[in-house]
């Protein structure tokens, strides 16, 4: 039996939603904004754009499909199905937030506010995304063109895994020095640092771009390239720790090994510290190209 397709619309709370939750009433929210030189009208306008985009997308879902809406904070608890078609309405970062929870499902990024969102991952206007969804209701046009964006994956020795679309960070939870042994190829080195980042081509314009800039520039992978770039942040030279293995690239079959030599380190993807894996003394992690890619609709 063929399961019914489902459109899943992913969104996040707007600034107005958060203000009303924090301050209870519009009047109190307006007073708070005024005290900081801001205007509630601008916040309302941005909220209205996001709501209008969501409604445009939802209205275009074929009548024979199921529909679900997921707020960013609920992504870790939502069960995505293989037959889902996912529409992400919001900023580019929302696509990255979603990426580690899906596998082969097509994802269309919807940009409700091109004036403020760069649109690197949310490439479609609400109207274009709606037309795409409506077309999928017809068997003659029930195909989409996607590109596969490379992802990075961390595997712990206890079986836990975590993926990231932009990067994975490993370090101390309170940003103290992280102590570990790093293994790159046939070389290994005890290190004490501010942590390390393993980034994809999609993340090359984000966090790791500032590191590359400070180090004089390096060639970074492209978003669809089967390659990762890794960087150690602020490695500390001492009689017990080295500073030679501080950057490199990983291709198919390569991995970066970490053995923890401090009480507790954390590992998280795409800046989501609330969804982190913890590593204790002697525990190991392997970071490499993920088997799955994010299928972004173009």
Q: Is residue 296 part of a domain?
A: no
Asked if residue 17 and residue 37 are part of one domain, the reply reads yes
CB-based contact 294:102 (threshold 8 Å): yes
Asked if residue 134 and residue 75 are part of one domain, the reply reads yes
Single out the residue in 91, 120, 144 at which a domain terminates: 144
pTM for the structure as a whole: 0.88
Asked if residue 189 and residue 62 are part of one domain, the reply reads no
CATH of the domain at 201: 2.60.200.30
Calculated CA dihedral for residues 246, 158, 290, 3, nearest 10 degrees: -160
- The Cα–Cα gap between 207 and 200 comes to 11
Tens digits of residue pLDDT in 153-208: 999 999 999 999 999 999 998 878 999 999 999 999 999 999 999 999 998 877 77
Give the count of domains, the chain: 2
Tens digits of residue pLDDT in 106-161: 999 999 999 888 888 999 999 999 888 887 765 545 577 889 999 999 999 999 99
- Of residues 213 and 140, more confidence is placed in 213
Per-residue pLDDT, 31:
87
Q: Is residue 135 part of a domain?
A: yes
- The Cα–Cα gap between 290 and 268 comes to 15
pLDDT over 70 percentage in the chain: 97
Calculated CA dihedral for residues 248, 254, 256, 257, nearest 10 degrees: -150
Per-residue pLDDT, 142:
58
- The Cα–Cα gap between 229 and 44 comes to 40
Tokens 């619309």 belong to 9
Range of the domain at 246: 152-290
Asked if residue 131 and residue 34 are part of one domain, the reply reads yes
- The Cα–Cα gap between 15 and 108 comes to 23
Q: Is residue 297 part of a domain?
A: no
3-state secondary structure 32-67: HHHCCCCCHHHHHHHHHHHHHHHHHHHHCCCCCCEE
CB-based contact 290:228 (threshold 8 Å): no
Asked if residue 191 and residue 212 are part of one domain, the reply reads yes
Residue 213 backbone phi and psi in degrees, to 5: -60, -45
Segment 29-44 shows an average pLDDT of 89
């Amino acid at each position: 039996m063929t399961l019914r397709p489902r459109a899943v619309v992913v969104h996040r709370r707007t600034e107005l939603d958060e203000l009303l939750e924090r301050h209870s009433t519009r009047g109190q929210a307006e007073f708070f904004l005024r005290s900081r030189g801001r205007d509630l009208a601008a916040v309302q306008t941005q909220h209205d754009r996001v709501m209008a985009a969501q409604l445009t997308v939802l209205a275009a879902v074929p009548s024979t499909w199921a529909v679900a809406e997921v707020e960013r904070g609920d992504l870790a608890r939502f069960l995505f199905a293989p037959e889902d078609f996912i529409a992400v309405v919001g900023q580019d970062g929302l696509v990255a937030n979603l990426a580690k929870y899906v596998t082969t499902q097509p994802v269309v990024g919807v940009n409700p506010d091109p004036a403020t969102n760069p649109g690197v991952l949310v490439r479609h206007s609400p109207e274009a995304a709606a037309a795409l969804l409506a077309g999928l209701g017809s068997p003659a046009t029930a195909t989409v063109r996607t590109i596969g964006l490379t992802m990075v994956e961390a595997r712990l020795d206890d079986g836990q895994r975590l993926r990231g679309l932009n990067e994975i960070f490993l370090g101390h939870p309170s940003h103290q020095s992280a102590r570990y042994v790093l293994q790159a190829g046939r070389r290994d080195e005890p290190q004490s640092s501010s942590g390390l980042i393993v980034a994809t081509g999609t993340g090359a314009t984000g966090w790791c771009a500032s590191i590359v800039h400070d180090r004089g520039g390096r060639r970074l992978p492209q978003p669809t390239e089967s390659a990762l770039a890794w960087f150690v942040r602020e490695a500390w030279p001492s009689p017990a720790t080295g500073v030679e293995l501080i950057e490199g690239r990983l291709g198919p079959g390569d991995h970066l090994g970490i053995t923890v030599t401090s009480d507790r380190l954390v590992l998280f993807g795409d800046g989501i510290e609330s969804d982190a894996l913890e590593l204790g003394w002697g525990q190991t992690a392997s970071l490499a190209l993920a088997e799955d890619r994010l299928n972004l609709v173009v």
